[in-house]
Structure 1
Amino acid sequence: MARIHTMNEHLTNMIAAGEVVERPMGIVKECVENSIDAKASSIEVRIINGGLDCITIIDDGIGMDFEDARMAFERHATSKIQKDEDLWNIHTLGFRGEALPSIASVAAVDLLTSDGTSSTKVQVHYGKQLMHERFAAPKGTQIDIRDLFQRTPARFKHLKSPQYEFSLISDVIQKFAFANPDIAFRLVHNDVETFRTNGSGNLQEVLMQIYGRDLAKSAIRIENSDADYTISGYAAQPNFNRATKYYMLIYINKRMVRSMRLQKAIQDAYAPYLPSDRFPIVVLNIEMDAQLVDVNVHPSKWEIRLSKEKQCENLIYLSLSEGLKKALQVSEVKTVKEKVIAEMPKFDFDEKKEQSVQLNKELANSFEMNEAEAYPIYTADFTKNEAQSKPMVPKDSAPKPVQPMLKESASIFVPLQQFAKKAEPVQIEPASKPLPEPEKDACIPSQEDLVKQVDKVNESFPELTVIGQFHNCYILASGEKGLYVIDQHAAQEKYHYEQLKKNIFAKDVMMQQLLIPETIKLTPAAIVQLEDINAMLSPMHIELELFGEDSVILREIPLWLKNTNLNYFVHDLVDLFLKNNEISEAKLRKSALASLACHSSIRFNRALTMDEMRQVIEDLKKCEQPFHCPHGRPTMICITDAQLEKDFYRVG
């Protein structure tokens, strides 16, 4: 007795629907893709009860004739692929020919379409065709999908609340709007319009519609290309960031895709400007030859494969890195009374709570001592004041808590009177008394020699006049836009980091033989990877020799490491390597330099003289990128005149 048989067409469509139609959002995505392929300039999506009751998509595209309207509900029937070779050269969003028959197998579908010559109405309810006849309609297509999964209760019970399902639909419509700013989108939920774009073709207008005016106005235009790829889009300033990665939007030939590797390239470009647990807001479209990408990976068409993925990653990283370097701005402070940004619906409502908790935690931690400060201090001699090369806080003393501002008013009230809205920007004058210099060694480059390598002033840096110090942690300065608050530790850390980087990668690095070679004990895991560790250390002019079974010896060091605790420094490098052996050597070296710069910089809770504060700002001005420390935290923020006037009710 034969046990194998061919499934009927309806059962086949039901199985396919499990891959294509997981929830209402999947239906909207498939139908809107068909509308875009039909060259629509206007697409309206109407949702009832989160899509569980009804989904209606209306477009003004080219429409279909009488026979095509019927064939559209046949499985694997499509106008987008004619022969085998077309599968590797796809220029449309849809191509499988499974969406409409799959949707019609689990819902009641009414299709009304016109190609400008003939008009047709087709009804297919739960896999059965009920109607196919000529019917008056305007040019374009309207599709109504009702009672989704009513006859498949196992699928229906896995859907979430109507509000959640609608949030996913809203999210996918906004993604379509980013990829197609030349199409006017309108989204209506329960007869209330929730989203609209005008189809002007201006991507920055869509950014403003979704994320708010401040983000869109300051967004950085990204445009770059190589032999195979052309990248265009916008990247938000680092101060506009999120707690999840879902705001890094990538499109391949205007197709929304998910690619962990391309997202990682974006994160790497933003790494110097953001803490590790924050993610940027980026919208990028990558145009390429359709033969370089395989979109036939999964029926949902979210996944892709690129034949030159590494090349694309490098182009994204370089494009964003260059754009961020050229267009970074000082973060402006906004009071909680203002709504800074329009939140985009997320994939999981629990993320809203996560974002709030994370933001509060981040704000609290940013005003406390770095955890690394509890460790032994690297005392690299790169400071103007020899006292700065020593720990500024005794190990047994706790950081000074931030006190209410009234308690400090006596010490800062008079200097703050120097701050006036219409004051002209004043050049910072050189210190009236030179700061104490460290003892000079004939073979060691002096502080002046190091400064010469970074003496070019950053043109984007504001002209500042020092007012005073707040809580021995922050330098207060006045500028053209308002009151600037500079994190004294982060500012000097950034300056030291760039000095170290320039010295490390200099062509002619002065080396010093150690009178007594440094012996360092390492773990067995590090010993077996010593060759790879030395390859990482080679550009830093450091080489470790095997010494016994569990130790290495360091005989020679570059001069910039002269006053560093070599044992701790090497251990930090090795630990970074063992923990992150999959990331690039450049990133490992960057982490090591950031740690070294951190430990050689001014600490919180240290009182500075006016000359020292001026010097911190002068040094920061010479940095290539002065607005963020190596760990991604801002070095300064600005409280604008307009914000102060508003908070003191002096507006109007």
Structure 2
Amino acid sequence: MNSPAPHIQPGPTRPVIRQLDESAANRIAAGEVVERPASAVKELVENALDAGARRIEVTIARGGKGLIRVSDDGCGMAPDDLPLALARHATSKIDGSDLLNIRSFGFRGEALPSLGAVGRLTVTTRAEGEAGATITTEGGLTGPVRPAAANRGTVVDLRDLFFATPARLKFLRTDRAETQAIAEVIRRLAMSRPDIAITLQGDDGQMLFRADAEDLAARLSRVLGSDFIDSALPVEAERDGVALTGWAALPTYSRGAAVAQHLFVNGRPVRDKLLTGALRAGYWDVMSAGRHPAAALYLSCPPQMVDVNVHPAKTEVRFREPDAVRGLMVSTLRRMLGGTGQRRNSAPLAAATLAAFRPEPEMARAPLKATAPLAPGFAEAQARIEPQADAPLADQPLGAARAQLHGNWIIAQTAEGMVIVDQHAAHERLVYERLKAEAEGAAGVPRQGLLIPQIVELPTDSCAALLAEAESLAELGLVIEAFGQGAVAIREVPAAIPRLDGAALLRDLADDLTDGSGAARITARREAVLSSMACHGSVRAGRRLSGDEMNALLREMERTPRAGQCNHGRPTFVTLKLADIERLFGR
């Protein structure tokens, strides 16, 4: 009996390779270049900047979905240039011979054809010595060039964005949210070019943003608020052809999210992980956990050192020498935060302190009561308690200590007002900076032997983790050894902190070592270990200090880098001006 022939499954149908038409290609490109109305605004404003515009006006309707109009007074285009301007990969900004020598915002030649593929685009322009002309494209279908009356420059009208790809409209947010995104794009571009006047107007005639040509500090104050400039320090450094300028806020002006971090590379706004990581590292030991620094930083370098052709949106970059760029940024920020400018507090911190002093409304409205005359001899008693010998100290930045409240708050008098100091936080920073300096020296951290070793009982795994790092800890001034089962003995401590709370420190270090990060954590995070030592070895709250001790603490704060914040980023002191205090009392 013959067996049935096996059933043969038909093979897969061979796909046919075909060339997409230009309209489909433009719509695909638009998906990368134009994600939302804010992306279209960014591309059009950048084109205006590349054209040498000195004034740019942006008008939007329905969050940019109904209308985006960008007018500029740049160089404009000749009538013969208009068809090419709407063709893909046609640009006047590069010749294609060197993609690492890009000195303009745009260079890919994709923006206008991509916008014309998904919306109704009209370009009206006139170059110096040329006649005005206009051209329209709708859904990728381009009409002829026609004469038009126009001033020198270019006006781009984009209406009904994504009408040719209606599915994209479903992914857009509300008109208000899209308007906010457009405003953020305008603000970032305004920060990149403070010498350019730029406006953003809504469809109801409301002026959403307006800035005339001005210097950088004025532009940042306009965009980020005067509180930012009042609380920021100027940044300026240069190394190996790379320059870093801008403004960075004091740690006391931190934010709850990274919304106030604005980074620019050769004038281009970017969102780069290398740079944001360097910004965090620069603030590492002066910023509270969960807080983010605020800064507007401008990195300038030869175009050959940075690749901006990483993503169609051109917001990501790659550096030829990333370690050098990161090192410049981190070292500059740390040096700035450790300089004399760190002696001052941010304006919001002082304002919040003054607000806390304001009387309650009920107290403010209470009628004044008659007061008894001063007791006899009051003036003589006041003279006796008023320190005279330290009067010249009031001219120092942190003034002369006058009192200690609740065992932790030092009140100092300055020439312009008063200073309130958190003695524990301040001493913690002083000890930390001293330990860092000693650890970086050739001799290492000086150690002091304990007359009686301090025995700390810990879980077996914690003991093993600590003892595995005993050699690294000894280099930092902490000498430990095993002491039976489940215990560690502290034999020596850093000489700078003889009253070290060794038990609390070892428990913290043990938790750090057994959290899954491995034993290399001590070596890799030396400064974090030193910070923990300083925290557990500094003057505790509740300790009474003499007048000499308080003044010695103030003088050392004035000499110590980053003395305005403790190791955890909290402020160590606040300054109150005499005029502000007088206003509290209606004087």
| Corresponding residue number in structure 1 for 2:257 | 244
Distance of aligned partners of 1:463 and 1:90 in 2 relative to their CA distance in 1, 3 Å threshold = closer
- 1:102 pairs with 90, 110, 114, which one? 114
Q: How far has the Cα of 1:48 moved from its partner? A: 1.7
Work out whether residues 121 and 156 of structure 2, in 8 Å CA contact, stay in contact via their aligned partners in 1: yes
| Corresponding residue number in structure 1 for 2:576 | 639
Partner amino acid, structure 2, of 1:428: D
**How do 1:306-321 and structure 2 match up within 5 A?**
306-321=319-334
Q: How far has the Cα of 1:248 moved from its partner? A: 1.7
- 1:572 pairs with 492, 508, 512, which one? 508
Residue 223 (str. 1) matches residue 236 (str. 2): yes
Work out whether residues 497 and 538 of structure 2, in 8 Å CA contact, stay in contact via their aligned partners in 1: no
- 2:342 pairs with 328, 337, 344, which one? 328
Q: How far has the Cα of 1:405 moved from its partner? A: 12
Distance 1:34 1:570 in 2: 59
Distance 1:583 1:172 in 2: 43
**How do 1:591-606 and structure 2 match up within 5 A?**
591-605=528-542
Q: How far has the Cα of 1:474 moved from its partner? A: 2.0
| More displaced stretch, 58-67 vs 575-584 | 575-584
**How do 1:53-64 and structure 2 match up within 5 A?**
53-64=66-77
| More displaced stretch, 536-545 vs 278-287 | 536-545
Distance 1:486 1:562 in 2: 23
Distance of aligned partners of 1:528 and 1:540 in 2 relative to their CA distance in 1, 3 Å threshold = closer
Distance 1:134 1:28 in 2: 26
| Corresponding residue number in structure 2 for 1:198 | 212
1:127-155 per-residue CA deviation (whole Å, 9 max, x = no partner) reads 11234212121111110111112343321
Q: How many residues align?
A: 544
1:192-215 per-residue CA deviation (whole Å, 9 max, x = no partner) reads 222222223x11011111223343
Distance 2:395 2:286 in 1: 16
The alignment partner of 1:233 has SS state of: strand
Distance of aligned partners of 1:628 and 1:556 in 2 relative to their CA distance in 1, 3 Å threshold = closer
Percent of aligned pairs with the same residue? 33
Distance of aligned partners of 1:281 and 1:516 in 2 relative to their CA distance in 1, 3 Å threshold = closer
Work out whether residues 497 and 537 of structure 2, in 8 Å CA contact, stay in contact via their aligned partners in 1: no
Distance 1:65 1:635 in 2: 63
Q: How far has the Cα of 1:242 moved from its partner? A: 1.2
Work out whether residues 466 and 509 of structure 2, in 8 Å CA contact, stay in contact via their aligned partners in 1: no
| Corresponding residue number in structure 2 for 1:91 | 103
Q: How far has the Cα of 1:329 moved from its partner? A: 3.8
**How do 1:472-483 and structure 2 match up within 5 A?**
472-483=407-418
Question: TM-score scaled by structure 1?
Answer: 0.74
Partner amino acid, structure 2, of 1:30: E
Work out whether residues 463 and 480 of structure 1, in 8 Å CA contact, stay in contact via their aligned partners in 2: no
Q: How far has the Cα of 1:507 moved from its partner? A: 3.5
Distance 2:45 2:387 in 1: 53
- 1:494 pairs with 429, 449, 464, which one? 429
| Corresponding residue number in structure 2 for 1:540 | 476
Q: How far has the Cα of 1:644 moved from its partner? A: 2.7
Distance of aligned partners of 1:174 and 1:329 in 2 relative to their CA distance in 1, 3 Å threshold = farther
**How do 1:36-435 and structure 2 match up within 5 A?**
36-83=49-96, 85-116=97-128, 117-190=130-203, 191-200=205-214, 202-326=215-339, 327-331=341-345, 428=390
Work out whether residues 65 and 161 of structure 2, in 8 Å CA contact, stay in contact via their aligned partners in 1: yes
- Stretches of structure 2 that go unaligned for 5 or more consecutive residues are 1-13, 357-361, 365-373, 381-385
| Corresponding residue number in structure 2 for 1:367 | none
Work out whether residues 194 and 213 of structure 2, in 8 Å CA contact, stay in contact via their aligned partners in 1: yes
Q: How far has the Cα of 1:54 moved from its partner? A: 0.8
Q: Which structure has the greater CA radius of gyration?
A: 2
- Stretches of structure 1 that go unaligned for 5 or more consecutive residues are 341-362, 364-403, 407-412, 419-423, 431-456
Q: How far has the Cα of 1:506 moved from its partner? A: 4.2
Distance 1:225 1:315 in 2: 8
The alignment partner of 2:99 has SS state of: helix
Partner amino acid, structure 2, of 1:62: C
Question: TM-score scaled by structure 2?
Answer: 0.81
The alignment partner of 1:88 has SS state of: coil
Partner amino acid, structure 2, of 1:482: G
The alignment partner of 1:475 has SS state of: strand
1:365-413 per-residue CA deviation (whole Å, 9 max, x = no partner) reads xxxxxxxxxxxxxxxxxxxxxxxxxxxxxxxxxxxxxxx999xxxxxx9
Distance of aligned partners of 1:90 and 1:499 in 2 relative to their CA distance in 1, 3 Å threshold = closer
Q: How far has the Cα of 1:93 moved from its partner? A: 1.2
The alignment partner of 2:575 has SS state of: strand
Q: How far has the Cα of 1:555 moved from its partner? A: 7.3
